Amino acid sequence: MKYVRILTNLENVPYFVFYLFIKRAAKTDRQFQTIKPIFESYLANKGIIANLTYYNTHQDRVRFITNQLEMDIPILDVGCGEFIYYKRMMNLGFTNKYYAIDSDIQFGRMGIFVAQKYNADNLHFYTSLIDFKSTEKINILLTEVIEHNSIDEAKKLITHLLDFNFNQFIISTPNDDFNKFYFDDDAMRHDDHHFELTHIEFKNLIEECVKSHNNYEVNFHQIGDTLNGIQPTQAVIIKKSK
């Protein structure tokens, strides 16, 4: 509380300082609930209506997405990286097949040890989507992937995955509308991002990809801290219409 008082006695503290303080200093949800209204009041006095969360942006995204997934449907994770979603699902009791795709072969070696940790044989790793041959109904994850491609490559990838036999197709990407709370210029969040989309641009991209398919339900979401109604991560959940 001493450091909270110091922070809030300063003028023009950026939102990201409060974000880092919460994520690094608040060790329990109880501590977070104590400082949350203080920081939100400070931001409100600066013209920012905030609803801060306990978890960091990455954790908020992982928790939101895994909470959408059924336990009895296999998962196809495109751009799986370090198996963050696999670990979370396994910790929740997932036992079905998990197909992981990543072009970096090192993740394949990592996957062997990750699966061994859970004493599981349900993780199937591929370095190319071309190698995935299953036709069973799956849930598809394409999280924080499209921005690492050109916009045309991203469209082709989404359109290709829309032809799969899926129950849910979940896409997430940074929300460029939120970047003004991070930066004073037009910088992107990571150097390897080819683009970052506003909510309208993301909505237009998804609608363009699904326009030739009239049997989909499309629902857009935002995830993470809320500042003036804007959140750092945006997602879409696409379902086959019944």
* The token pair that represents 186 in the structure block: 């037009």
* The token pair that represents 42 in the structure block: 């400070």
Q: What percent of the chain has pLDDT over 90?
A: 90
The tokens 């499209």 sit on which residue?
Answer: 146
Q: Which CATH architecture has domain 57-240?
A: 3-Layer(aba) Sandwich (3.40)
CA distances from 149 to 18, 43, 81, 153, 193 (A): 32, 35, 15, 6, 7
In the chain, CATH 3.40.50.150 covers 57-240
Q: What is the pLDDT at residue 186?
A: 75
- Tally Cβ neighbours within 10 Å of residue 221: 15
- Tally Cβ neighbours within 10 Å of residue 70: 12
Q: What percent of the chain has pLDDT over 70?
A: 100
Phi then psi for residue 96, to 5 deg, are -75, 180
pTM score, whole prediction: 0.94
Q: Are 176 and 201 in contact (CB under 8 A)?
A: yes
Give the model confidence (pLDDT) of 3-30 as tens digits.
999 999 999 999 999 999 999 999 999 9
How far is Cα 3 from Cα 95, in angstroms, rounded to an integer? Answer: 45
Contacts of residue 142, defined as CB under 8 A and 6 or more positions apart, other chains included, come to: 78, 79, 157, 158, 161, 169, 170, 171, 172
pLDDT for residue 191 is more than 90: no
Give the model confidence (pLDDT) of 23-54 as tens digits.
999 999 999 999 999 999 999 999 999 999 99
Alpha-helical runs (H) found in the chain: 2-8, 15-25, 29-45, 57-66, 84-91, 105-117, 151-162, 199-210
Q: How confident is the model at residue 242 (pLDDT cuts 50, 70, 90)?
A: low
pLDDT for residue 183 is more than 90: no
